[in-house]
Structure 1
Amino acid sequence: MKKVLFATTALVATAGVAAAEVNFSGYGRFGLGYQEDRTQTTTLTDAGADGVPGTSDDVSYAGTTESDDVILVSRFRLNIDGIAETDGGVRFEGRIRVQADDDGQGEAGTAQLNGARYSVIFGGLRVDAGNIAGSFDNLANYYGYEVGLETFLGQYSGVDYSFATYSSTGAGVNGVFFQYAVGDFAFGASYDQAATITASNHVAPVPPATVGTLDLTEEDGDRWDISATYTFDNITAALAYGRQTDGGSGDDPSLLVFTLGAEFGDFAGTLFVADDNTENTEVDATDGTAYGLSVAYNVGAATTIQFVYGDGSADGDTRNVGIGAHYDLGGGVSLRGGIGQIKEGEADSFVRADFGAQFNF
């Protein structure tokens, strides 16, 4: 859904630059969240036989305990955008984000600062670098109409492939995203790389030394995505393909996604289908077809009703189904909520719901 964010702007004239400004925007949300049989996980780490934490014989133990089904949920997000534009009309942007979320167990979390994203924009061309959103994250109608104050249900729930996403609280992938729009067409591509480091052996320290040694192996990984979008009248079709290499082991995960979105007066809907190949050792659990849909219907001037469904053909895919609603109070403030069922693989399904207020600024 389109978000209108009003900013506080500082303008500074500089030589060779038409204008520079700093914008602040974001939103806050808070309310109650319900999850059937909510649990919390606690992890403890044993230093192993050598008694030194951080070596390859460390052992981690995880246990779960019951938690409150109903908790206070919240988020505060502040975007800080630095913008400059040359006399020739080339726009340069840099963004960082400050975000504070609840911890999922009813406790407040501290605000965190994320990695920076840099952008160059000219006409229909946009290039992002740093903490980017990749081609899938930017794909039209990938997320559809998510349900709930926390947008906890989505049509894409059956996808297991990991693609480049913008991180609100971390450093991000440090990649590059390119998009060019001309007329009704838009083309996109993204790339990022990461090194996977594994330990094959270790040598315990000999007293009085306190630090041992590890034999480490590094494999370079590359991940790239491409996309194409076409809009005709009130219908938008989009296609994206991504692939990831992992240093020559022979298993290259990939994802192919097709989305279709349309608006007809007060009704809007999206369709989603994907071919998901994670190349996991247990491919039956993750590889297959993911599919879903979402719809939104305006009931009067202030109320919007939503429905979403997402699933996949693999044994371990997650199914989402539910309904939600928004009620616009004006001034960027709305009441939001949703209820639905989530089923993760072969596990028992559970009900999740929430309700609260969101204000954009």
Structure 2
Amino acid sequence: MKKVLLATTVLVGTAGFAAAEGLTVTGSGVFGLNYAENAAVGADRTTPIMETYIAFAGAGETDSGLSFGMSSTLGQYATLAGAYEDDGTTLFISGAFGKITFGDVSEADEVAGLGDIGLTGIGVDNVAEATTGDSSGGVAHDVNYSYSAGDFSVAVSGRIGASDLINANDSFAIGAKYTFGDYYVGLGYNDTDVLAIIDGVRDGATTSIYAGGSAGDVSVKAMYASFSPDAAAAATVKSYGMNVDYTVGAATVSFAFADNDAVGNTKASYGVGVSYDLGGGASVVGGVGSVNDVTRAQAGVSLKF
């Protein structure tokens, strides 16, 4: 990570950055190969992976002691992509009252997300998280409030309005987490109303439970979620998943398992992955598994700057 002190320098032609203090810039990237057994007809099952990210973060403090800051990530997802894309931008202010964040915020019900297998992820975690947060057509939130007191933390998030009918969706979520030593438990609730689509299958509420912790070289994360759709004829969807990581020296072996009872999902998903830390911010990463009865695999190199 590089600390950028911009006293007189203009960054990417933006004079407003010249007076910024405490601005940091980090970079990361991955490259390798992706395999998907269910590639479209005429398409290759094995394709390249190449993603790069540039992340900016700034922080400051008012005379009265309030903290404020921003973060913005630019992502490039293909070798021949024409330009970087906004991969997430947020602004926040915090104090004794808690923290208020606007922008590309986390949905409060996702108290502790599961990890995935592979370089960018083969998708095992998506099976368990299919009904939480903004997954599976859910609504992305744009405001998040969080507060912590000792080992207890709580968050509330939502989507506040829209400028057109197509994006006129209502959603709110709440989550709470309690940490004791190296372990935690959490509870989340998310309610979504997709107004523009009038989609009773995606309209509804999800309740989720999380637990996890670390003991020596082993860490575990687990979750369970139940989605109750508003449509009377639609069935409740239940999902669950677990990750186990075991670290030996520079190597970490990961196991993942997930399942849900949504229509069309007949088999559980699972995978195993390995990551080896080369030092200096570089790691060799690989993983293989079955996601919704489709074999998937990834292998390559992860870089952090």
CA distance in 1, matches of 2:276, 2:264: 35
Q: Which residue in the other structure is 2:172 paired with? A: 224
Q: Does 1:118 align with 2:119?
A: no
TM-score, normalising length from structure 1? 0.71
Q: Which residue in the other structure is 2:149 paired with? A: 182
CA distance in 2, matches of 1:293, 1:228: 19
Aligned match for 1:152, one of 112, 116, 122: 122
- Verify the 8 A CA contact 2:141 2:158 in the aligned structure 1: no
Q: Which residue in the other structure is 2:218 paired with? A: 267
Pair 12,120 (structure 1): closer, same or farther in 2 beyond 3 Å: farther
The correspondence of residues 198-237 of structure 1 with structure 2, limited to 5 A, is: 220-237=168-185
Shift of 1:197: 6.7
Shift of 1:126: 1.7
CA distance in 1, matches of 2:225, 2:6: 45
3-state SS of the aligned residue for 1:89? coil
Q: Which residue in the other structure is 2:16 paired with? A: none
Q: Report the residue type matching 1:350 in the other structure.
A: V
Residues 314-323 or 91-100, more deviating: 314-323
Shift of 1:247: 4.9
Pair 195,34 (structure 1): closer, same or farther in 2 beyond 3 Å: same
Pair 181,26 (structure 1): closer, same or farther in 2 beyond 3 Å: farther
Pair 237,244 (structure 1): closer, same or farther in 2 beyond 3 Å: same
CA distance in 2, matches of 1:288, 1:24: 41
Pair 359,196 (structure 1): closer, same or farther in 2 beyond 3 Å: same
- Verify the 8 A CA contact 2:132 2:225 in the aligned structure 1: no
- Verify the 8 A CA contact 1:160 1:278 in the aligned structure 2: no
Q: Does 1:335 align with 2:305?
A: no
Pair 319,127 (structure 1): closer, same or farther in 2 beyond 3 Å: farther
CA distance in 1, matches of 2:27, 2:119: 15
Pair 122,12 (structure 1): closer, same or farther in 2 beyond 3 Å: farther
CA distance in 2, matches of 1:114, 1:302: 30
Q: How many residues align?
A: 286
Larger C-alpha radius of gyration, 1 or 2?
1
- Verify the 8 A CA contact 1:117 1:132 in the aligned structure 2: yes
- Verify the 8 A CA contact 1:289 1:312 in the aligned structure 2: yes
Shift of 1:241: 0.2
Aligned match for 1:94, one of 62, 65, 70: 70
Q: Report the residue type matching 1:128 in the other structure.
A: T
Shift of 1:245: 2.9
Shift of 1:154: 3.3
CA distance in 2, matches of 1:279, 1:298: 43
CA distance in 2, matches of 1:323, 1:237: 25
Pair 280,25 (structure 1): closer, same or farther in 2 beyond 3 Å: farther
Pair 37,130 (structure 1): closer, same or farther in 2 beyond 3 Å: closer
Shift of 1:7: 3.2
Q: Which residue in the other structure is 1:323 paired with? A: 272
Residues 326-335 or 310-319, more deviating: 310-319
CA distance in 2, matches of 1:236, 1:147: 22
Aligned match for 1:313, one of 249, 255, 261: 261
Q: Does 1:8 align with 2:9?
A: no
The correspondence of residues 1-361 of structure 1 with structure 2, limited to 5 A, is: 6-10=1-5, 20-39=21-40, 65-102=41-78, 108-110=80-82, 111-114=84-87, 116-122=89-95, 125-137=98-110, 139-140=111-112, 142-143=113-114, 145-161=115-131, 163-164=133-134, 173=140, 175-194=142-161, 220-247=168-195, 251=200, 252-279=203-230, 283-284=234-235, 287-299=236-248, 301-317=249-265, 319-343=268-292, 349-361=293-305
Shift of 1:280: 5.9
CA distance in 1, matches of 2:227, 2:143: 23
Shift of 1:88: 3.3
Pair 31,87 (structure 1): closer, same or farther in 2 beyond 3 Å: same
Which deviations, in whole Å up to 9, do the C-alpha atoms of 1:153-189 show, x marking residues without a partner? 3345144436348xxxxxx956210111110000000
Question: Unpaired runs of 5+ in structure 1?
Answer: 1-5, 14-18, 40-64, 166-171, 199-217, 344-348
Tell me how large the CA RMSD over aligned residues is: 2.9
CA distance in 2, matches of 1:219, 1:307: 38
Q: Which residue in the other structure is 1:48 paired with? A: none
CA distance in 2, matches of 1:339, 1:86: 49
Shift of 1:146: 1.4
- Verify the 8 A CA contact 2:107 2:140 in the aligned structure 1: no
Q: Which residue in the other structure is 1:202 paired with? A: none
3-state SS of the aligned residue for 1:150? coil
Q: Which residue in the other structure is 2:15 paired with? A: none
CA distance in 1, matches of 2:279, 2:97: 33
Q: Which residue in the other structure is 1:59 paired with? A: none
